[in-house]
Structure formats: C-alpha cells, structure tokens
Structure 1
Amino acid sequence: MRPSKYERPAHLDNPALGGTRLTTSAMIASIAGPDQRTKPAPFGHALVELARTRPDIVGVTADLSKYTDLHLFAKACPDRFYQMGMAEQVMISAAAGLAREGFTPFATTYAVFAARRAYDFIFMAIAEENLNVKIVCALPGLTTGYGPSHQATEDIAIFRGMPNLTIIDPCDAHEIEQAVPAIAAHRGPVYMRLLRGNVPLVLDEYGYHFELGKAKTIRDGRDVLIISSGLMTMRALEAAKRLEADRIDVAVLHVPTIKPLDVGTIEREAARTGRMVIVAENHSVVGGLGEAVAGVLMRAGIHPPAFRQIALPDAFLDAGALPTLHDRYGISTDAMVASIKSWL
C-alpha cells in the first residue's frame, strides 16, 4: 500500500536505517521559537479588560471558547457570554441580532469555519447591514498542522471582496492587545485573524503602536523592503537581523490592516529607489496581501527593481508539525533568508 501524502517514509525517521528520528506531530503547533518571549491568551485578557468599561461587549462562540481564548471572557462575564454550539451560521446570525439591539458582539471560531461555512451569513446578515460585529478567528493561514480542513490559507482572499468589512492580521501579543479596543471602537464589521495560546512578543521591542488602517515601518533598510502582515512580520524581522551578517540591509513595513489598505504608505516606501520589494504573508499566494500590494504598485506606476512574494502555495497543504511545514512551504525564517539571498 502506498503511504499517505501525510506520512514520511519510515526509513527517514529510523536511525538504524540511516535516518534521523524527527518529531513531525501535528500537535506541535506553536509559532514561537524555543527562547522567544510569549504572552498567554492576549485576546482573551484584552477583551476582559475592555469589558470592564464597556457593558455593550458580549462574547459569542461556536463551541470553541477554549481554543479562541474566549473562555477567559466567559469566566469573567458569564452573563454576557453565549455558547452557540457547533453552528457557525447560527452564531453569526445571533451576533447580528445582538448588534441590532445595541451590543458589540465578539464572535469567535476557527478561520476556516467563518470563511467557508458562514460566508453568506456574514455577507447578508452583517456586512450588507454594516453591523457592529467583530469576528475574531483562530488558526489563520498555516498555524495548525491538521491539514486543509483546519488551515485557513485562503481566508483573506475570501473576505477581501466583501464590502464594509475591515480585515486585520496582527503580528504578536503586543499588537493583539492594542487591536482589541481599537476594533471595538470602530463602527462596523471587522474580521481579525487571531494568534491564540502563548503568543510571541515582538513589536514591543520596537516601540510599536497599532493604529487601525495604518501600515508602519518597523525598521529601515537600503537593499530590500519586506511588506508583511501577521506572524510574517515577526519572521521578516528575524530574517532582517540574520541578513545583516551578509551586509544585506532589510527594511520591514508592517501592514496589519489588510482592508482598507494603507495605500499612501505602501506607495511611498515602495517608490524609494534601488530596493527589491518582497511581500511576505501567512496566506495563499492567491488573493492576499501580495496581490493587493502588486495592484497598488501597478496602478501608481511604481516599478521596483524586482517584486517577489513569500507566501503559501496555491495548493492543499500537508499535515504535520508547524516547524516542518513552515520550512517546507517557505515561510520559516530560514526559508525566508535563503529566498532573499537567492533573489539578490
């Protein structure tokens, strides 16, 4: 019998047969490095803190409070928490009804379930009516090893075409904590990708402050401009430090708001002469930040020396441990460094 595409050939993991035993379990799901600073459940803690002064805040989930960190809100505000069971479409409809009554619902599930199962309900019940619902979804892009059923590699492509919907892709715990009150203050529907559990801390070292709709230069550089969102900004910063040893000077422009895009800042940074432009995202190469930026540059008549994308392939991805998969699909720090050096 042929091995499944999710299995490694046995000899590769057997030292007696010349292989090296590797841990490739899908349970290895942290995006933090072994020595990296992290913060537990930044979304859950930030929402609890916000709810202390915002009685309109309510939490709604589809059987995933523990896995979206909403269980912290449920414990702190049990009278404002609604468990809808495994029924994402019902959850979205309930959130729309709560918003019509003056509440500000934070609805949580996995990104695949919101984008694929509940799309029409979000479109018709929330976005068309411009209701004040915040949809916060875990496991964006390749942040789980459980294969295509749980890997939301196309969620941004699905949602970018939806009118009225703001799309946020935060980098780390620091930014998530700041984004929660910002999206609550914004009137209208929001889709935010969520990093859950023990989330890396990165941007606090750079004095970063989240502003809805704003892209910000985290570090400057003369040779390469990386335009990135989400966890790929963390990887871009790591790659930039590594490339200093090869005297490659890399700038990183963080774009946490995918829609509406900060066109002015992107145009200004990309128009600086002599720099290769690379867009890095934890999303399919189709329909995400890379194609959005490419459209901005073409419409503005900006022609950098080269334009490249670091993104997930247009494919159904394998199951396995995240470190293995990130290397395989080119979004690990090692893979980014190798790609950038090969392009220069």
Structure 2
Amino acid sequence: MLDIESLTPREALGKALADLGDLRSDVVVLVADTGETTRAKLFAERHPERFFNVGIAEQSLVGIAAGLALAGFMPYALTFAAFMTRGWEQARNSVDRLALPVRLVGTHAGFADAYDGPSHQALEDIALFRVLPNFTVMAPADSCEVYKAVTASATLKGPAYIRVGRDFHIPVTCGLYDKFEIGKAYVVLDGSDVAIFTTGVVLPFAIEAAQFLKDRGISAAVVHFPTIKPLDYAAVEKYASVTGAVLTVEEHMVYGGFGSAIAEYLSQTRPTKMAIMGLKSYGRTAKSPQELYQYFGLTPENIAARAEELVKLK
C-alpha cells in the first residue's frame, strides 16, 4: 500500500480521487486543462470515461459540474485556487443556490505556487467560498489530511470547497488522529496561557512556536481546524475560555478568512483578547514557499512573539 505521507499534497489529491472512483461509479472529475498539474491524471488513468477536460475555462468548469450534479453525478472540479475564483458567479448561482453536491478543489493555494508570482497565489479564496451559505470549506494541513478530507467530502450532500497546496508540506497529521470528521477541530497540544488556532499548511509552524513559548514559560495550546466551515464552535469556546487569549494563523488574507470566522463567533459569544496572523497584501515571486513565509513573517518565531504579546495584554 502506498504511504500517503510520502506523497505531495497534489499527489494525495489525485490518489484520493482515483480511489473514490474505484468505490463510487457516480464520481466524475473535471479539470480546466490542469490534469497534469493537479494530478487529476491519476483519476483519468483509472477512469478515463469519467474524466473531462473543459479547457482553460473556469466558469464552464463550474457550470458543467453543476449540470453533471443535476444529472445525478458527484463532480469534483479541479483547477488552481487562484483561477477557481473566476467561476465564483457560477459557484454562487448554479451550485450554491441549488445546494448541489459539487466539490470545487482549488490547488496550488496560498504560496504553493511561489514561482509564478502573485497572479497564481490564492490568498482570498477562503473568504470567497466561506461567504456562500451552503458551502463546506476545508483546508487540510498535509498530504495525509488532503487524502482524508477529499475522501470524507464524498459524504456531503451539499457543495464543498477544498483548498490544497502543491508540493510543500510538513507531514504532522498522519498519526494525529484516526478518523477525519468534517467540522471537527483537533487539539495538537494542550495549554492554558494562549491558544493558537491554525488551518492549512501553517500547522507545523504553530507547533514549533508552541515549543518556543514553552521555553519562555508560556503554556500554548495548538488547535488545528482543517474545516473552516462549519467551524468547530465547541473547540473555539473551550480554548478561548481556558486561555483568554487566541491567536489565529493562516496562509490567507486577514480579511474574511479563517481568523475572521473565529472573530465573528467570539465577538458575539465570548469577547477575547485576539490577534489574526496572515497576509495584508498580494504575494510575490520567489524560489520557494518557504522564502515567502519568511518574507511575510509567517514563521514559528513570529508566531511565538505575537502569542507572547497577547499573553502580556491579558
């Protein structure tokens, strides 16, 4: 059996789709001329009769997926996350308003495509899909979680947006839990002074930051939210109550994303000292995602420093 941990996130995506195709004859996969780059080709190799390349036409990608859903299929539509947003109108009007079981998978999300510059770096996609009432929104942390999230998405009755990277990942969830549950947060480290909430690939940065804080005598909880919508409100409530200080970290704009979802809830239920770490501008061209994390301050050291500031504010 292939070790999922050894795969890149996009390879885990392709394998998950191919395996789903083995289990379900209603699963179809569509791409916008991105079969190779998203690794959807792994599905195409096993199930060529259920694989469709619509060309570089993202609005058609989403619209055709909606039509296939109306015909009784379970479509997975794949393209770069930055370009999936071109089909947002179709996602709203053709998919969400009818609550169709369409899964939109945005690959190369965040800084994953560092090499092609800001035009290819999706830093707004969580906000755009989180605002649609019927959409489930997921951001797995690594290849193991990509495989589990894609597999679990087949149980949903409504639409979903799944955010996937490219090649960079630090596998930390593979032994973290046995079963992926949509809408559930996972406690990676317990703590009492500050809670660091994460989603997506920045989870290992938060774990390292918690160690820095421990060395300074600060007890930091790390709670990972692979599902951004629906949010695990019980986990948010518990750790906001225990620590009185919440820091959210995401590879996304600070406007309307994961941190905003946490803030929306806490501001109405339990006002808490809080900070949101993410981006406030577009990305830039770089040789690697790691170079961009460093440039924009999404590093374990900076996470630890911001968390320590929150503790002092308490």
Provide the secondary structure at the position in 1 that maps to 2:154.
helix
- From 252, 272, 276, the equivalent of 1:283 is 252
Q: What is the alpha-carbon distance in structure 1 between the residues aligned to residue 34 and residue 218 of structure 2?
A: 44
> 1:330 matched to which residue of 2?
297
> 1:231 matched to which residue of 2?
201
Q: CA deviation at 1:98?
A: 1.0
> 1:39 matched to which residue of 2?
7
Q: CA deviation at 1:150?
A: 0.8
TM-score with structure 1 setting the length = 0.83
Equivalences for residues 1-344 of structure 1 within 5 A: 38-40=6-8, 41-115=11-85, 117-145=86-114, 146-197=116-167, 199-207=169-177, 209-272=179-242, 274-300=243-269, 302-304=270-272, 306-313=273-280, 315-321=281-287, 322-343=289-310, 344=312
Q: Deviations over 1:47-83 (max 9, x none)?
A: 1112111011111000111111211111111111101
Q: Deviations over 1:301-338 (max 9, x none)?
A: x233x31111111x222221322211121212233234
Assess if the C-alpha contact under 8 Å between 1:226 and 1:279 holds in 2: yes
**CA 1:42 to 1:199, structure 2 compared with 1: closer, same or farther past 3 Å?**
farther
**CA 1:262 to 1:275, structure 2 compared with 1: closer, same or farther past 3 Å?**
same
Q: What is the alpha-carbon distance in structure 1 between the residues aligned to residue 82 and residue 127 of structure 2?
A: 12
- For structure 2, list consecutive stretches of 5 or more residues without a partner in the other structure: none
Identical residues among aligned pairs (%): 36
Q: CA deviation at 1:271?
A: 1.1
**CA 1:228 to 1:242, structure 2 compared with 1: closer, same or farther past 3 Å?**
same
Q: CA deviation at 1:86?
A: 0.5
Assess if the C-alpha contact under 8 Å between 2:200 and 2:251 holds in 1: yes
Q: What is the alpha-carbon distance in structure 1 between the residues aligned to residue 204 and residue 142 of structure 2?
A: 8
Assess if the C-alpha contact under 8 Å between 1:106 and 1:135 holds in 2: yes
Q: After the TM superposition, which parts of structure 1 deviate over 6 Å for at least 4 consecutive aligned residues?
A: none
Alignment: residue pair count: 303
Provide the secondary structure at the position in 2 that maps to 1:123.
helix
Aligned AA (2:121): Q
> 1:30 matched to which residue of 2?
none
Assess if the C-alpha contact under 8 Å between 1:141 and 1:282 holds in 2: yes
Provide the secondary structure at the position in 1 that maps to 2:52.
strand
The structure that is helix-richer by fraction is 2
**CA 1:161 to 1:194, structure 2 compared with 1: closer, same or farther past 3 Å?**
same
**CA 1:38 to 1:234, structure 2 compared with 1: closer, same or farther past 3 Å?**
farther
TM-score with structure 2 setting the length = 0.91
Q: Which moved more, 1:142-151 or 1:225-234?
A: 142-151
Q: Deviations over 1:249-304 (max 9, x none)?
A: 211111111112222221122111x442101111101111111111111110x233
Assess if the C-alpha contact under 8 Å between 2:109 and 2:166 holds in 1: no
Aligned AA (1:299): Q
**CA 1:129 to 1:197, structure 2 compared with 1: closer, same or farther past 3 Å?**
same
Provide the secondary structure at the position in 1 that maps to 2:19.
helix
Q: Deviations over 1:3-25 (max 9, x none)?
A: xxxxxxxxxxxxxxxxxxxxxxx
Q: CA deviation at 1:212?
A: 0.6
**CA 1:160 to 1:198, structure 2 compared with 1: closer, same or farther past 3 Å?**
closer
Name which one, 1 or 2, has greater alpha-carbon Rg. 1
Aligned AA (1:339): R
Q: What is the alpha-carbon distance in structure 2 between the residues aligned to residue 205 and residue 54 of structure 1?
A: 27
Aligned AA (2:298): I
> 1:33 matched to which residue of 2?
none
Assess if the C-alpha contact under 8 Å between 2:69 and 2:100 holds in 1: yes
Provide the secondary structure at the position in 2 that maps to 1:52.
helix
Provide the secondary structure at the position in 2 that maps to 1:225.
strand
Assess if the C-alpha contact under 8 Å between 1:327 and 1:334 holds in 2: no
Provide the alpha-carbon RMSD of the alignment: 1.7
**CA 1:209 to 1:241, structure 2 compared with 1: closer, same or farther past 3 Å?**
farther
Assess if the C-alpha contact under 8 Å between 1:69 and 1:196 holds in 2: no
Q: Deviations over 1:138-175 (max 9, x none)?
A: 12222222322111111111122112111111111111
Assess if the C-alpha contact under 8 Å between 2:212 and 2:301 holds in 1: no
